[in-house]
Chain A
Amino acid sequence: MASRQSADAAAPAGERELLSAGDVARTVARMAHQIIEKTALDSGAEHVVLLGVPTRGVPLARRIAERIDTFSGVSVPTGALDITLYRDDLRQQPNRPLEPSSVPTGGVDDALVVLVDDVLFSGRTVRSALDALRDQGRPRAVQLAVLVDRGHRELPIRADYVGKNVPTARSEDVAVRLTEVDDTDAVLLRRPDSSSGATSSTATSGREPDTESGTETAESAGGKQ
């Protein structure tokens, strides 16, 4: 279940740190400020709910809520929204375990729901989350906050709050690590195991995302879409 991001002792050749622990904290703080500003939640006009997508979206939502509370004094309810039962690729994968969902008391009706996830990639997770959310009630509006936007959208979906834009190749994997799940805070860019181990600088340009060879690895290894 947690095999995707088992902790490594030292960064291997195909791995580069995009955000350090300090960067993660600053990024979360900035996203909290942006949410306060954009939703004007400190004016009391809006009922804002943060819903994290398991696994790492859930602690991320809690952290953002904690920052919002510190900065504005407003306590924003948080919850978890598991999307497994709404995935469009259930049949392409071995069976997935379910994660618990929890919607804060008061529900999502007429609230401004901010969906929180660690990585925005194809957009399919978000589409599933929108379907799952529809079954929870009828929010007044839905926004999306992600720690990392790595591109390669397959659906017309965009984030309202982005911690960091990272141009990536499809074959690469963006691994977000949070202490609540992984005992450490970091965002890592991982290249698939290949013969070209010394191309540490090419990926940052990210201009040739779809021309990389071996595009399967990241998709099949990562559970996140």
Chain B
Amino acid sequence: MIRHLLTADGLDGETVNTVLGTADTLKQTLLGREVRKLPTLRGRTVITMFYENSTRTRVSFEVAGKWMSADVINVSASGSSTGKGESLRDTALTLSAAGADCVILRHGASGAPHRLAEWLDHTGTRVVNAGDGMHEHPTQALLDAATLRERLGELSGRRVGIVGDLLHSRVARSNVHLLRTLGAEVVLIAPPTLVPDGIESWGATVTHELDPQLPGLDAVMALRVQAERMNGGFFPTAREYSIGYGLNAARTAKLPEHAVVLHPGPMLRGMEIAPRVADSPSAAVEQQVRNGVHVRMAVLYHLLAGEESTA
């Protein structure tokens, strides 16, 4: 098993299937229970370090840890010594020295979790990437895969479209790697200004037209337009973007009957997804969040439950 979870890129099919299988078993185990608490990670300490805002990722990691009886401590950049000028490395070493068995990091800089894993390598503290800049968000890709499997069955041979702000999206990159590992075909759809350099190496089809793709898709994922990472000029107006790439009722009507609509959240209703689509039965947004807890439980289980010496 893996020591850290830093990327979806390079995760082999066996590891992915094991984690998804564990997540599914955990979901069934806890289904309908009055007391959602397992003793599995009793005595383990998990620290979340979020240098960027987050609702669902931070909360679901915290819930996942707590349902498995780990002690979960949340550190945010604003309330910590980062504000006094402490480096990421020193903060991480401090958390590790204070007893963290696992550090879950969200950071605005792509690659920050990799550096953290290197710095903490001698300590035995595990690192989970909860989103780093415009790079990767592996647990999001895992929970998306879990959701798609629940809706569609095996993903091998399925065709998944990812629409929107590919340039700034760590979700898209992680999903492309993971979906391809599971045998699915990925189509990336975005205006030319929001397509990153080097996208040819991702192994997915890239197009600028959404409508012709719709009838052939088993699932479509709308990405959030990341205004906080944009300094203008990517598209003329929000309305224009929405007309070209927003998922509205007219568009989803062109999808096959069984097709699933995903959104990693937070949703900008009326921008990349219409309210009617977001609340329709084909949308799996809440299911994604629910699965997020179980997938993160599975990740923590595989990183933390077994014997300490596995390197």
A90 to B35, CA, bound (A): 22
Q: Known contacts A95-B1, A95-B302, A100-B25; is A85 also within 8 Å of B308 by CB?
A: no
Q: Which residue of B lies closest to A103 (CB)?
A: B32
Q: Are B308 and A101 in contact (CB under 8 A)?
A: no
* Chain B residues with CB under 8 A of A102: 28
* Chain A residues with CB under 8 A of B307: 91-94
Q: Are A85 and B22 in contact (CB under 8 A)?
A: no
* Chain B residues with CB under 8 A of A135: 33, 35, 37-38
* Chain A residues with CB under 8 A of B29: 82, 85, 98, 101
A198 to B1, CA, bound (A): 41
* Chain B residues with CB under 8 A of A82: 25, 29
Q: Which residue of B lies closest to A87 (CB)?
A: B40
Q: Known contacts A85-B38, A90-B40, A135-B33; is A100 also within 8 Å of B308 by CB?
A: no
A191 to B308, CA, bound (A): 30
* Chain A residues with CB under 8 A of B87: none
Q: Are B306 and A98 in contact (CB under 8 A)?
A: no
Minimum Cβ distance to chain A for residue B61 (Å)? 18
Q: Does A180 contact B (CB under 8 A)?
A: no
Q: Does B281 contact A (CB under 8 A)?
A: no
Q: Does B18 contact A (CB under 8 A)?
A: yes
**Main secondary structure on chain B at its contact with chain A?**
loop
Q: Are A98 and B38 in contact (CB under 8 A)?
A: no
Q: Does B88 contact A (CB under 8 A)?
A: no
* Chain A residues with CB under 8 A of B38: 85-86, 135
* Chain B residues with CB under 8 A of A110: none
A135 to B67, CA, bound (A): 12
Q: Pick the most buried of A86, A93, A98: most chain B CB atoms within 10 A of its CB.
A: A98
Q: Does B268 contact A (CB under 8 A)?
A: no
| Candidates A86, A96, A101; contact of B28 at CB < 8 Å | A101
The interface size of chain A toward B, counting residues with CB under 8 Å, comes to 19
| Candidates A85, A94, A101; contact of B310 at CB < 8 Å | A94
Q: Are A90 and B306 in contact (CB under 8 A)?
A: yes
Q: Does A73 contact B (CB under 8 A)?
A: no
Minimum Cβ distance to chain B for residue A72 (Å)? 30
Q: Are B306 and A93 in contact (CB under 8 A)?
A: yes
Minimum Cβ distance to chain B for residue A217 (Å)? 18
A163 to B146, CA, bound (A): 42
Q: Are B26 and A98 in contact (CB under 8 A)?
A: yes
Minimum Cβ distance to chain A for residue B31 (Å)? 10
What mask results when residues 269 to 311 of chain B are scored 1 for a CB within 8 Å of chain A, else 0? 0000000000000000000000000000000011001111010
Q: Known contacts A85-B38, A131-B39; is A90 also within 8 Å of B305 by CB?
A: yes
A94 to B302, CA, bound (A): 10
A93 to B308, CA, bound (A): 9
A91 to B101, CA, bound (A): 13
A136 to B36, CA, bound (A): 10
Q: Are A95 and B25 in contact (CB under 8 A)?
A: no
Q: Which residue of A lies closest to B69 (CB)?
A: A85
Q: Which residue of B lies closest to A102 (CB)?
A: B28
A6 to B3, CA, bound (A): 29
Q: Known contacts A98-B22, A101-B28, A135-B33; is A86 also within 8 Å of B306 by CB?
A: no
A201 to B37, CA, bound (A): 48
* Chain B residues with CB under 8 A of A98: 21-22, 25-26, 29
Q: Pick the most buried of A95, A96, A99: most chain B CB atoms within 10 A of its CB.
A: A95
Minimum Cβ distance to chain B for residue A99 (Å)? 7
Residues of A88-137 whose CB lies within 8 A of B: 90-102, 131, 135-136
A-B contact pairs, 15 of them (CB 8 A): A82-B29, A86-B39, A90-B40, A91-B305, A91-B307, A92-B307, A94-B306, A95-B302, A95-B306, A98-B22, A98-B25, A98-B26, A100-B28, A101-B25, A136-B33
B residues within 8 Å of A by Cβ?
A: 1, 18, 21-22, 25-26, 28-29, 33, 35, 37-40, 68, 301-302, 305-308, 310
What are the 4 A-B residue pairs with the smallest beta carbon separation, nearest first? A95-B306, A98-B25, A85-B40, A85-B38
